[in-house]
Amino acid sequence: MAPAETSTEVSAGAGRPPRIRWARARETSANQLFLVPVALVFVVLLVVPLTQTFYWSFTDFTGYSAEVKFVGLSNYGKVLTDPSMLAGLGFTLAFTIGSAVLITVVAIPLAVVLNKKFFARNFVRSVFFFPAIPSIAILGLVWGYILSPLGSGVLNSVLESLFHAGPYPWLSDATLARVSVIVVAVWGGAGWHAMLYLAYLQSIPSDYYEVATIDGASARQQFFHITLPLLTPAIVISNFLLMTGGLKVYDLPYTLTKGGPGFATYTITQSIITSGVAQGRYGLASALAVLFTIAVGIVAVAQLWVSRRIERRVL
């Protein structure tokens, strides 16, 4: 159907008088003009800084003077041999994978529930979406009080009064601190991603479920054989956002733990910011940033490739 329409359009266009063609070309160029501001933003805020970062990674730039010395690959050598530069790698990966998996596992069932009709549904949807509104830094400060490792911390007080348990070192034990940061990230992100899934759920025709019900399929079977496969595009988008966002994470661990205890919740982005801004080692930080950008790019492309294959097989 579509190719026939296209060919009709092309042949009709070819037969049009020059005035009409000129008007159409003018309209097309006018439409393209609207892309200029976005392109400008893209170039100024992304292409220029990325190019500068790449250039600085080969210099001893301190951030204070444009007069820099070319140092070749020495910054890259330091990044790969200095353990403190890569101290955040382990937790960054754990955070990215942990939060992406948990948010997906929580958000899909949540979206299914929120898609059903029940009293005050819109209010409940708003409540789950709310954590996505305040800045992560504010959430981090609030959760800092909730997860305070002292007996007077909110969570420890509740556990003490209900179960006479604790206090637990939520943010002062390395393992618990890592888990706490991931759990807070899941709490903050599940609602937003549930809304994404909800939008896709609403586009699934109800006929499929009606037919499945008539055929005797249980709710579980309907979920795994209709809902989940048809949500694949949403899972791809959601996980793409979660993976790229997770790899760049900085604000939440920093406000909760400042990267501690020790380097337990230190992230690559914190390492880049600390080395660059605080320590005036922009050249070194830029080298780490370049390597990290390439790594994120590879992960993103690989993820898209795998997702597309799964999508094609399922749909």
Partner 1 sequence: MRKRRTLAALAAVALAVPLVACGGTPGSGGDSKKLTFFSWDGEETMKPLIAKFEQDNPGTKVEFSNAPPVAEYISTLQSRILSGTAADVFVIAAENKTNLINGKHVVDLKDKPFLKNVPKFNQATYSGPDGAVYGMSVASWGAGILYNKDLLAKAGATTIPQTWDEFLALCKKLKDAGVTPYLESVQGMSTPLSAFLGAESRASGDTMDTKIFDGSAKFKDYWVEPLTQWSRLWTEGLVTRNVVGLTGDQVRTEFVTGKAAMMIAGPWDVPGVRKAAPKLNIEMAPIPGISGGKPYLAGAASPGYAINAKAKNPEAAEKFLTFLDTPEAMAIYQKATGAITVTTDFQPTLDPALTPIVKDVRAGNVYLPQIAWKRAEDILNVEATAQLQLLVQGKATPEQVANALDTKLASTS
Shortest spacing between CB 175 and partner 1, in angstroms: 12
Q: Which of 11, 29, 65, 122 binds partner 1 (CB under 8 A)?
A: 65
Amino acid at 81: T
Residue 56 binds partner 1 (CB under 8 A): no
User: In whole angstroms, what is the distance from residue 308 CA to residue 314 CA?
Assistant: 10
Of residues 231, 238, 237, 233, the one with CA closest to residue 208: 231
Both tokens assigned to 60: 């001893």
Residues that contact partner 1, how many (by CB under 8 A): 44
Q: What is the C-alpha to C-alpha distance for residues 34 and 28, in angstroms, rounded to an integer?
A: 10
In the region spanning residues 267 to 286, those forming contacts with partner 1, defined by CB under 8 A, are 273-274, 277-280
Candidate segments 186-194, 217-225, 227-235, 253-261, binder of partner 1 by CB under 8 A: 253-261
Query: Which CB, 77 or 205, lies closer to partner 1?
Result: 77
Q: Which of 263, 295, 300, 311 binds partner 1 (CB under 8 A)?
A: 263
Provide the 3-class DSSP secondary structure of residue 98. Answer: helix
Nearest distance from residue 56's CB to partner 1, in Å?
Answer: 12
Q: Using CB under 8 A, pick the residue from 106, 208, 261, 310 that binds partner 1.
A: 261
The C-alpha atoms of residue 19 and residue 262 are separated, in whole angstroms, by 72
Which tokens go with 113?
Answer: 């529930």
Restricted to residues 123-152, the positions that interact with partner 1 (CB under 8 A) are 144-145, 147-150, 152
Per rule CB under 8 A, is residue 53 in the interface with partner 1? no
Both tokens of 45, joined, read: 């805020």
109/262 with CB nearer partner 1: 262
Nearer to partner 1, 84 or 221 (CB): 84
Q: Which of 18, 37, 72, 216 binds partner 1 (CB under 8 A)?
A: 37
Residue 166 or 229: the one with the smaller Cβ distance to partner 1 is 166
CA nearest neighbour of 86 among 294, 292, 296, 280? 292
Distance, in Å, from the CA atom of 302 to the CA atom of 299, rounded to the nearest integer, reads: 5
- Tell me which DSSP letter residue 17 carries: -
Only segment of 30-38, 186-194, 211-219, 239-247 that touches partner 1 (CB under 8 A): 30-38
Q: Which is nearer to partner 1, 114 or 268 (CB)?
A: 268
Contacts 24+ apart (CB under 8 A), 268-271: 268/86, 268/88, 268/89, 268/92, 268/292, 269/88, 269/92, 270/88, 271/84, 271/85, 271/86, 271/87, 271/88
169 belongs to the binding site for partner 1 (CB under 8 A): yes
Note whether 307 binds partner 1 by CB under 8 A. no
Could you say which residues in the range 171-230 bind partner 1, by CB under 8 A?
171-174, 177
Beta carbon of residue 106, minimum distance to partner 1 (angstroms, whole number) = 25
For residue 87, give every residue at least 6 positions away whose Cβ sits within 8 Å of its Cβ, in sequence order, or none: 263, 266, 271
40 near partner 1, judged by CB under 8 A = yes
Contact 271, 249 (CB under 8 A): no
Binding site for partner 1 (CB under 8 A): 30, 33-34, 36-37, 40-41, 44, 62-66, 82, 84, 144-145, 147-150, 152, 167, 169-174, 177, 257-263, 266, 273-274, 277-280
